[in-house]
Amino acid sequence: MARPGNRLRDSLRGFGLERVCVPRRDAEIGILSEADGRFAGSQERGAIHEAMVTEPNQPTGTSIRGLLFGSVAERYERYRLDYPDELVDTVLRYAGRPVCSALEVGAGTGKATRPFAARGIEVTAIEPDADMAKVLARVTHELPVRPVVTTFEHFRSESRFDLVYAAAAWHWTSPATRWAHAVELLVDGGVLALFGAPAELKDPELSAAVDEIEKRVLPEDDPVDVHPWSIEEMAAIDGVGDVEHRELGYVATTTAAAFVGRLATVSAYLQLAPEQRADALRQVRAVLPDQVDIDATVQLSLARRVDRSVS
Ligand SMILES: C[S@@+](CC[C@H](N)C(=O)[O-])C[C@H]1O[C@@H](n2cnc3c(N)ncnc32)[C@H](O)[C@@H]1O
């Protein structure tokens, strides 16, 4: 079996990074616990780092609804779509410089961790839910990935990263602190990449039929405690520039059962009681043909940390 070090070197070849990306020693990834300000020690690859679990009653400004995914971690891994390799190519091209290290925010089960780590990038993958993190550690154990159980709000590091990214997770972080925190964690010239793929039914009639059901079955006062962002908001952030938005068109064909399986991992459905959820999913399944096309277009926002030494 290829050793991770060789795998890393091999995957850097072709990106011209083999000479510039020197694998960090574990001790160089230092993570501080906000709770007591102590150095939490070296972060060994593959293991889950529980040292970062913070007090449940600590106010963080994060959404409780964003922390429901662990109850369906295996289902999440099975039914959520993977991200296309083109996404990684786009981010690396935008970076235009070696990307050796990355911090992933809200890594979940590692859907977006794998494609970046497979390019040899050392990914520190933070995920607050222990059940999601368990799957993450399992599926990435042969890759240069360090899963850390914490929220973004409580994550502290002595290291700076070439890339900070979040896949379908940034909207769960606190809008009050996330931008400054991301800037602080990036090296000068480092890249912030935020993306998601809403995965909606491509057929407008089917989509309308499902919307109709959701209007009836999902809570009307679906709390708007998810925090989206805009390109304008990003452009106004202190310490970043070159803000861009890209759309990467992508259609997936899946079975109706897999589509419904994916819906069962969506937070709005996770808020329902189990019988209500099962009933809602049965209703959705009933209006779908056996195969469906899903518009999985990736929406990608990019920005670069501005070099503060250049005025
Ligand atoms: C929809 S999932 C996305 C998972 C993965 N990135 C993907 O694309 O499949 C959102 C993830 O964000 C995590 N999350 C929620 N609040 C968070 C926070 N404040 N900081 C970091 N991650 C958070 C959740 O536990 C969940 O695993």
C-alpha 21/C-alpha 90 separation (Å) is 19
Torsion angle of C-alpha atoms 262, 268, 269, 275, degrees rounded to 10 = 180
Q: Which among 304, 16, 9 has a CA at the least distance from the CA of 161?
A: 304
Q: Report how far Cα 68 is from the mean position of its chain's Cα atoms.
A: 15
Average pLDDT of the segment spanning 124-129: 96
For residue range 206-265, what is the model confidence (pLDDT) as tens digits? 999 999 999 999 987 555 456 789 999 999 999 999 999 999 999 999 999 999 999 999
Distance CA 44, CA 144 (A): 10
Mutation pick for ligand 1 pocket among 87, 155, 172, 250 (CB with most ligand atoms within 8 Å): 172
Give the amino acid at 235.
A
Give CA separation, 126 vs 52, 132, 167, 257, 279, in Å: 9, 10, 12, 30, 34
Is 165's C-beta closer than 6 angstroms to any atom of ligand 1? no
Task: For residue 277, tell me if it sits in a domain.
Answer: no
Residue 79 lies in a domain: yes
Ligand 1 pocket mutation, candidates 60, 63, 67, criterion most atoms within 8 A of CB:
67
**Token pair listed for 214:** 């959701």
Residue 273 lies in a domain: no
Q: Which pLDDT score, from 0 to 100, does residue 55 have?
A: 38
Backbone torsions φ then ψ of 197, nearest 5 degrees = -130, 105
Question: Is any atom of ligand 1 closer than 6 Å to the C-beta of 110?
Answer: no
Question: Amino acid identity, residue 190?
Answer: G
Summarised one tens digit per residue, pLDDT across range 57-112 is: 344 556 677 778 888 899 999 999 999 999 999 999 999 999 999 999 999 999 99
**Angstrom distance (rounded) from CA 143 to CA 223:** 37
Q: Which ligand 1 atom minimizes the distance to the CA of 151?
A: 20
* Residues 308, 311: Cα–Cα separation, whole Å: 7
Residue 104 Cβ contacting ligand 1 at under 6 Å: no
Number of domains comprising the chain = 1
Contact 161 CB / ligand 1 (< 6 Å): no
Q: Could you give the CA distance from residue 200 to residue 231 in angstroms, rounded to a whole number?
A: 22
Q: Ligand 1 centroid to 13 CA: how many Å?
A: 31
pLDDT at position 38: 36
Domain-located, residue 272 = no
Structure confidence by residue, pLDDT tens digits, 136-150 = 999 999 999 999 999
The protein residue with its alpha carbon nearest to ligand 1, atom 12, reads 106
Alpha carbon nearest to ligand 1 atom 23, residue: 106
Q: Measured from the CB, is residue 128 less than 6 Å from ligand 1?
A: yes
Structural domain range at position 177: 4-195+226-247+298-305
CATH of the domain at 167: 3.40.50.150
Q: Are 294 and 254 in contact (CB under 8 A)?
A: yes
Ligand 1 pocket check for 169: Cβ under 6 Å: yes
Q: Residue 208 class from Cβ within 10 Å (0-12 exposed, 13-18 middle, 19+ buried)? A: exposed
Beta carbons within 10 angstroms of residue 265's beta carbon: 22
Locate 290 and state its tokens: 């056996």
pLDDT at 30: 43
Query: Does ligand 1 have an atom closer than 6 angstroms to the CB of 195?
Result: no
Once rounded to an integer, what is the mean pLDDT over residues 282-289?
Answer: 97
Residue 141 lies in a domain: yes
| DSSP secondary structure, 244-278, as one string | EEEEE--EEEEEHHHHHHHHTTSHHHHTS-HHHHH
Strand-pairing partners, residue 127, are: none
The structure tokens listed for 5 are 């070090």
Let me know if residue 235 belongs to a domain.
yes
The identity of residue 90, as a single letter, is T
Using DSSP's 3-state secondary structure scheme, residue 180 falls into: helix
CB 49 within 8 A of CB 40: yes
Would you place residue 44 in the very low, low, confident or very high pLDDT band (cuts 50, 70, 90)? low
* Residue 15 pLDDT greater than 80, yes or no: no
pLDDT at 267: 87
- How far does residue 99's CA lie from ligand 1's centre (Å)? 23
Asked if residue 215 is part of any domain, the answer here is no
pLDDT for 90: 98
Length of the chain: 311
Ordered strands of the 186-196 beta sheet: 145-148, 122-126, 101-105, 161-167, 186-196, 298-305, 240-248
Write down the residue that tokens 């959820």 correspond to.
Answer: 277
| Distance (Å) from CA 127 to ligand 1 centroid | 6
Cα 191 to chain centroid, rounded? 15
Name which residue sits closest to atom 22 of ligand 1, judged by CA: 106
Does residue 209 sit within a domain? Answer: no
**Which residue has tokens 């990306």?**
21
